[in-house]
Amino acid sequence: MAHKNNKTGGKEAIELDRRGLLFVLSSPSGAGKSTLARKLLYSDPQISLSVSVTTRPPRPGEVNGVDYHFVDVENFKQMARRGEFMEWAHVFGHRYGTPKAPVEAMLAAGKDVLFDIDWQGTQQLYQESGNDVVRVFILPPSIKELEARLRGRGTDSDVVIAERMARAKSEIGHWDGYDYVLINDDIESCFGKIQHILAAERLSRSRQKGLIGFARKLVNG
């Protein structure tokens, strides 16, 4: 179907069929990416989280198939050899990967997929599906604030925090590999900008599958 009509305010609003998009949020640990991702998933029914495969053990409260698909290292390696991942990477001693089949099915159905991945995964994803990918990088307001946020969690030792800070500085160096870069100095303001980016990208001409047919009908009508 090229388009469908929805009634809005007594008038019929025309919605063209579109292809879904892959919406990437990346940031160093502590910059607010996970909070922003949760807010987006809660507020926008058109986007779903890509459930990654990982070799790390489940944390308390995590559910297999909901938070992650938990597998052992050998199964992960076999999946990688069979080409079942859109991207995968080592992060803090564990493997994480994005399964290809469910993501491609959601795209074809016009559904958007949210990715909470690092710059390495983003690079691989863009190489695999460049035209479908929208890349957003979240920066902290300062390194001092980033460290304060990590310490405020109260879950990591000084050694782990030092490792995360070193990795954060390395990750920040890849900010220029993204389409949009936002500074998260206020969570609500940053979230509003993310919503604006997503709304605009959904209207991109290249994603409107029904646009050519609709325009031809207007010309020939």
In a domain, 220, yes or no: no
Which residue segment(s) compose the domain that 37 sits in? 8-206
Q: How confident is the model at residue 10 (pLDDT cuts 50, 70, 90)?
A: low
Distance CA 88, CA 27 (A): 17
The token pair at 55 is 């070799």
In a domain, 215, yes or no: no
Number of domains in the chain: 1
Distance CA 87, CA 96 (A): 8
pLDDT at 108: 84
| pLDDT over threshold 70, residue 90 | yes
pLDDT of residue 9: 60
Q: Does the pLDDT of residue 2 top 70, yes or no?
A: no
pTM: 0.83
Q: Encode pLDDT of 164-181 as tens digits.
A: 888 889 999 999 999 999
| Closest C-alpha among 174, 171, 179, 195 to residue 134 | 179
CATH number, position 126: 3.40.50.300
